């Protein structure tokens, strides 16, 4: 198994116990790993759909926040349009407001799926 593949396993294991996103440099520090190597492993994990990286700036330093994918979805849930919709209580199948035909919900799903590409 390659060095990067081994590191992918270590990262995946570490992230299982995480309740919040972690900056990439912090993850490298905690795992005592070179920043270039961790960057390669994280890119591979993102491609496999195991994590999501989001660009951020911390104390003037550009970095990525690393989210296990399940945590990333949770972080996006407050943006679901239904939470702010005046039709939420009457929305449902066979109602005038049907989620399967809702343009607002459809647009939101398209946006989130683009982020995951
Ligand atoms: S599916 Fe559409 S209409 Fe229904 S609650 Fe969500 S945003 Fe509102």
In sign, the C-alpha dihedral spanning 106, 111, 116, 117 is positive
Handedness of CA 85, 87, 89, 95 (dihedral sign): negative
pLDDT digits (tens, 9 = 90+) for 20-69: 899 999 999 999 999 999 999 999 999 988 888 999 999 898 999 998 87
The answer to whether 4 and 45 have CB atoms below 8 angstroms apart is no
Q: Is the pLDDT of residue 93 over 80?
A: yes
- The CATH T-level fold of domain 3-73 is Arc Repressor Mutant, subunit A (1.10.10)
Q: Residue 117 above 80 pLDDT?
A: no
Q: Which residue's alpha carbon is at the smallest distance from atom 1 of ligand 1?
A: 99
- In angstroms, what is the C-alpha Rg of the chain? 18
Q: Quote the pTM value.
A: 0.62
Helix or strand (DSSP H, E) at 66: strand 61-68
Lowest-pLDDT range, 1-15, 85-99, 103-117?
103-117
Checking if the pLDDT of 73 tops 80, the result is no
Residues of the chain with CATH 1.10.10.10: 3-73
Pairwise CA distance, residues 53 & 66, whole Å:
5
- Residue 54 DSSP label: E
CA 78 to chain centre: 14
More confident residue, 83 or 91: 91
Question: Is residue 42 helix, strand or coil?
Answer: helix
Atom in ligand 1 nearest the alpha carbon of residue 99: 1
For the cut 90, the answer to whether the pLDDT of residue 109 exceeds it is no
- Whether 111 has a pLDDT exceeding 90, the answer reads no
CA 97 to ligand 1 center in whole angstroms: 7
> What integer is the mean pLDDT of 71-85?
80
**DSSP letter (8 states) at residue 65:** E
d(CA 98, ligand 1 centre) in Å:
7
């Amino acid at each position: 198994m390659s060095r990067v593949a081994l590191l992918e396993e270590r990262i995946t294991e570490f992230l299982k116990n995480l309740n919040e996103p972690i900056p990439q440099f912090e993850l490298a520090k905690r795992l005592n790993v070179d920043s270039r190597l961790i960057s390669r492993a994280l890119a591979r994990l993102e491609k496999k759909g195991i994590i999501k990286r989001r660009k951020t700036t911390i104390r003037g330093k550009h970095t990525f926040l690393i989210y296990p994918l399940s945590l990333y979805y949770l972080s996006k849930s407050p943006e679901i349009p239904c939470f702010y919709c005046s039709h939420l209580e009457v929305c449902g199948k066979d109602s005038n407001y049907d989620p399967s035909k809702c343009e607002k919900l459809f647009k939101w799903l398209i946006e989130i799926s683009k982020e995951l590409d």
